[in-house]
Amino acid sequence: MNLQCGNKYLDLVNPVVMGILNITPDSFSDGGKLYSSGSEHISHCLRAAEQMIVDGASVLDIGGESTRPGATVVSSEEEMARVLPVIEAIHRDLDIIISVDTSNPTLISEAAKHGAGLINDVRALQRDGALQAAAKTGLPVCLMHMQGEPDNMQNNPHYSDVVTNVKGWLLARVDACINAGISPQKILLDPGFGFGKTLEHNLSLLKHLDQLAALPYPLIVGLSRKSIAGKLTGRPVDERLPASLALAQLALDSGAKILRVHDVAATMDMLKVWRAVREI
């Protein structure tokens, strides 16, 4: 399957890696490593992006609003000021598909103009105007499941059946996108591990991920360094790579097509081994 992302194509016949570039001061995973207001900010982001490309990333996901548990919403102006210059620079200097991680309808529109090729929204285009803005860009969209908002999503999340509920909710968002004029061939899904889910919910989703992968929409999975890895191993964020790789491999076995990760090189090594065994 070839997914047209602006003027580039993403080959999803085999699984690929999406590298995460957080342009935020409060990222759960890196503590705002790429966030700076100094003159070296753009060049620093470019170096990080270039290294991810060298390491094997097929897509870079750029976000300017933290969605960690308890995170607060930033203004539209601040989010755009963080993200647009980075998208513009990467689009200008590097050959890579750019995904914009946002729920902001204005940023969705502007990011497309600046070179983004994919819209990745943790709120599945539910904010006022987001669905219409995404449809106008003509770009593919990734719809993620989240129960609640980042500031309250971990306050006692509840499901009658997490797999059935997440699947039904995502399909309802798919219908909304199609009704807004977005082609079904341009829709991707993300079950939203860690977004309004307990450890048991996350484990159940992972165990039954094949039910979501069986849908006619490519599956993006983000498990890198998340709380599921921390709770299972007792490790802090910067020591969760082995667990993250194990979780990613389980997702691959169940049909995930895109792995959204912080550690591109290590994930690519795992993916190469996984592919070699599968192709024998």
DSSP letter for each residue of 168-213: HHHHHHHHHHHHTT--GGGEEEE--TTSS--HHHHHHHHHTHHHHH
**For the chain, what is the mean pLDDT?**
93
| CATH 3.20.20.20 applies to domain 2-279 | yes
Q: Residue type at 248?
A: A
Q: What's the whole-model pTM score?
A: 0.93
Query: For the segment 58-116, what is each residue's pLDDT rounded down to a tens digit?
Result: 999 999 988 776 666 789 999 999 999 999 999 999 999 999 999 999 999 999 999 99
Q: pLDDT band for position 39 (50/70/90)?
A: low
Q: Please compute the mean of the pLDDT values over residues 206-233 and round it to a whole number.
A: 97
> Quick one: pLDDT band at residue 37, thresholds 50, 70, 90?
low
Q: What is the mean pLDDT of residues 38-66?
A: 91
Catalytic residue numbers read 226, 260
In this structure, are residues 12 and 2 in contact, taking their beta carbons and an 8 Å threshold?
yes
The beta strand positions in the chain, using DSSP E, are 2-5, 8-11, 16-22, 59-63, 97-101, 118-121, 141-144, 187-190, 220-221, 258-261
Radius of gyration of the CA atoms of the chain, in A: 17
Phi, psi of 203 (to 5 degrees): -65, -40
Q: Is pLDDT larger for residue 29 or for residue 116? A: 116
d(CA 217, CA 89): 30
**103-133 tens-digit pLDDT:** 999 999 999 999 999 999 999 999 999 999 9
